[in-house]
Structure 1
């Protein structure tokens, strides 16, 4: 009985495969943006998520607003 797997291996090309080239430019895929994060108690996370729901926005947007207010207040 022929072994199809062994036959396929024998007829396979001997050249190693080259890795596929990435379709996008190097980087994090976020348009040059940097991640800023921190660790907070679960209650803070829950309140932020609820506030985002209540205001029909995202936690990301709330954090951006808060950071902007902080930076403005420190610019003397």
Structure 2
């Protein structure tokens, strides 16, 4: 009888689901404002050599493609009689 009772107890234990642990609600951290906030992408499609040359100039001058493009756009704006924006 003890073995029958033990078998019944074991089978009942197997059917009982494990208790669910309640996790604490996660507090959302406020996201940092992106450096790209309030900006738009201005781009174009060019030959691969354009990208290579731009990167080479940036490396030689210790600057970024972004800074070189800003400089180029400001020169274009001035040439066309517009005020520099960047």
Q: TM-score, normalised by structure 2?
A: 0.58
Residue 39 of structure 1 deviates from its aligned partner by: 1.6
Query: How many residues are matched?
Result: 68
Structure 1 runs not aligned, ≥5 long: none
Tell me how large the CA RMSD over aligned residues is. Answer: 3.2
Q: State the partner residue of 2:77.
A: 71
Whole-angstrom distance in 2 between the partners of 1:36 and 1:65:
14
- In structure 2, list runs of 5 or more residues that go unmatched: 1-9
- Determine the structure 2 residue equivalent to 1:11: 20
Equivalent residue number for residue 59 of structure 2:
53
Partner of 1:23: 30
**Residues 21, 48 of structure 1: CA spacing in aligned structure 2 closer, same or farther, 3 A cutoff?**
same
Distance 1:21 1:50, change over 3 A: same
